[in-house]
Structure 1
Amino acid sequence: MGVRKTSSSERPSVPAPLGEVQQVGERTWAYLQLPGTWFLNNAGIIGGPRPVLVDTCATDRRTRHLLDSAAGLVGSLTACISTHFHADHTFGHHLLPQGLPIWAAESARDDAAATGIQHYEGVFDQPEWGAQTLRLATDVVGNSPVKIGAVHAVRHRGVGHTAGDVVAWVPDDGVLFTGDLIFAGVAPLGFHASFAGWRTALEWLRTFDADVVVPGHGPVVAPASAIADVDEYLALIIDTAQVALDRGLALLDAADRLADNRFATWGNARERSVINLAIAIAELRGEPIALEDAIGPALEDAGGPFECEA
């Protein structure tokens, strides 16, 4: 068995710095919240006659900083593109200007409505969330790309990271905001994923011929290496899940098999390997899995709530 972490009560999380802006194109900026671990997502700011925001942040404090950064760079926003429904990318939507269009896949909007605002007490060290209310997308990205200013919002057809993944493509700058289809230096997380479908989505990302990828979490990366890394990680999860099924391994013993690969040093690697394997095993069996059944063993393994630097 691998070495288990000490209880999070013995090592309280220290908040990471607020996000930083990195220019990645003539009129395109990445808003990066490094190291990109739990609830530290990236966002995007695209200028021009119709300035566009890509995603918001998990907490009110972080979203206000993002919006202030955007205002200083591009002025008044005209739209927001929401890459998927997860909390870290959407909980700040309520701070967007009233009446601002928010574009998302229909399934992402439906999933956000069904999930609501949840702060996951007992699962994570609790950041200062703020006074949050649920604000849903107003406009739907369907089967055809939607051009919003200089940005093309494009929906992936099928289940990848979620059932409603949308990318924001800035062709003039060669920049692709992938949402959580790509993680860089942080372990991918498949709470609502199909791991096989996610690998298909990665092949789809190659069709954009981007020069720069802004991942959902982690630093800006080159497309080829970013896609290859996530694909290798997902293949490793699937293969390990299959071994666990074939040999009847316990979940944590299967996760121990991932302790010596190159992804073991990525952020949140241990807890996410447990969660991902539980979900991947259920997918291989063709069975649904309740999230608490995937999270519970990881919490037990961690000795308490997951560290959260948001």
Structure 2
Amino acid sequence: MAKAFASQADLTEKRVTFSRLSEHAYAFTANGDPNTGVVVGDNAVMVIDAQATPKAAQAVIEKVRSVTDKPIKYLVLSNYHAIRAMGASAYEAEHIICSEATREMIVERGAQDYKSELQRFPRLFQAADTIPGLTWPTITFRDRMTIWLGKLQVEIAQPGRGHTKGDTVVWLAEERTLFSGDLVEAEAAPYAGDAHFRDWPSALQALRALHPEALLPGRGDPLLGAEEIEEAISGTQTFVEELYRIVSESAVADEPLKQAYDKAVAALQPRYGKWAVFDHCLPFNVSRAYDEAKGLDHPRIWTTERDLETWSVLEPQQ
């Protein structure tokens, strides 16, 4: 039986949770859907990742209002992908922050990415007609910056290329609390369609060096304690490294992309097949890994046409 394209068959609403990570930090999660982080400072709130639409963002805002009436002043984008960025207008934040590299991705491919993800994730993009347009930052940074929410210091940094070239994390040093974006996933397959496979482990090592005690991954449950956090970081790293090793061996041997994909499925499915979005991500991940192994450092843009073409090659109708 042929697999449905990407996540088009995933129509079941997920159970939302809102939990406390540390004194000032909260986690909005939805059973494997994209997570959103919340930091409540002395005088304002910071949200990390906006959700896919203003309608989806309203669910986050309701949870924020259950713990504080302080204004949502800052919105941080961990990367440029539409499921993270397109709900931004709902927050009416004074400042939208991302890395300079993320802004470059929005300029280069934000419009194509939105159409691509709308096609891939119909459930996440309910009420897409309420999206006013691409989300543009008001503040960008190169390596790191600091925001003060009253007396609370919030560090925003780009630890290195991985999930995308512009990945951004948010770190509360006093509380050892980290919002990793999609650099780390927990029981969810990392999406690597725009990835830099060979750089990703170094970015993860930079996160390890912080010694976080609480971590909100891009997808999956909040992580508390060194053991849970290392399990998720190691799981993400092993997935990325195994996938790239398998696909690069095929690419170096000039085997066709379909053959590389079939080898990756056979090797990875037994261990990771039950992870959220595994089937969705793998065709796009293998395509990007194959390109990188062939020497293409800058990821090709995913359009709706390229999405369908790739899927038809790697998951042909039976």
Q: TM-score range by the shorter chain?
A: 0.7 to 0.9
SS at match of 1:181: coil
User: In the alignment, which residue of structure 2 is the partner of 1:119?
Assistant: 115
Q: What's the counterpart of residue 56 of structure 2?
A: 62
Q: Which amino acid aligns with 2:3?
A: K
* AA at the equivalent of 1:253: Q
Contact (CA 8 Å) 1:71, 1:77: kept in 2 or not?
no
Question: For 1:236-276, what per-residue CA distance to the aligned partner results, in whole angstroms no more than 9, with x for missing partners?
Answer: 11111122124443333333333343112212223422211
Q: Give the number of aligned pairs.
A: 296
In the alignment, the residues of structure 1 paired with residue 6 and residue 76 of structure 2 have an alpha-carbon distance, to the nearest angstrom, of 35
1:172 shift after superposition: 2.6
Q: Where in structure 2 are the equivalents of 1:1-310 lying within 5 Å?
A: 4-5=2-3, 12-17=9-14, 19-36=16-33, 41-49=34-42, 50-75=44-69, 76-97=71-92, 100-117=94-111, 118-120=114-116, 122-125=119-122, 127-128=125-126, 129-133=128-132, 134-149=134-149, 150-156=152-158, 158-221=160-223, 222-257=228-263, 258-259=265-266, 260-287=269-296, 289-292=300-303, 293=306, 296-299=309-312, 301-302=314-315
1:266-307 deviations in whole A, cap 9, x for unaligned? 122234222111111111111254435566323554568xxx
Q: Deviations over 1:26-80 (max 9, x none)?
A: 22110102222xxxx1111111313211111002221011112112212222212
Matched letter for residue 259 of structure 2: D
Unaligned runs of 5+ in 2: none
Q: Residue 187 of structure 1 contacts residue 263 of structure 1 at CA under 8 Å; is this kept in 2?
A: yes
Segments of structure 1 that go 5 or more residues without pairing to the other structure are 305-310
Change beyond 3 A, Cα 1:82–1:8: closer
CA distance in structure 2 between the partners assigned to 1:296 and 1:67 by the alignment: 38
* Partner Cα distance (2:107, 2:199) in 1: 24
SS of 1:102's partner is: strand
Conserved? CA contact 2:5–2:120, under 8 Å: no
Contact 2:197 2:244 in 1 (8 A): yes
For CA contacts below 8 A with separation 6 or more, give which structure has more relative contact order: 1
Going from structure 1 to structure 2, the CA distance change for 1:4 and 1:254 (only over 3 Å counts) comes to: farther
Distance 1:14 1:271 in 2: 14
Deviation of 1:157 after TM superposition, in Å, equals: 5.1
Kept in 2, the 8 Å contact 1:181–1:216? The answer is: yes
Aligned sequence identity (%): 20
> Which TM-score applies when normalising by structure 1?
0.85
Contact 2:78 2:98 in 1 (8 A): yes
Measured in 1, the distance between the counterparts of 2:6 and 2:80 equals 27
| One-letter amino acid of the counterpart of residue 186, structure 2 | A
Report Cα offsets for 1:87-133 as digits up to 9, x if no partner: 111101112225x1111101212322333452336544464224112
Give the conservation status (yes or no) of the 8 Å contact 1:271–1:302.
no
TM-score between both structures, scaled by the size of structure 2: 0.83
Q: Distance in 2 between matches of 1:241 and 1:8?
A: 20
Q: CA RMSD in A?
A: 2.6
- Tell me if the contact between 2:162 and 2:203 (Cα under 8 Å) persists in the aligned partners: yes
Q: State the one-letter code of the partner of 1:119.
A: K
1:163-201 alpha-carbon deviations (Å, 9 max, x no partner): 211101122322110011011111111122110111111
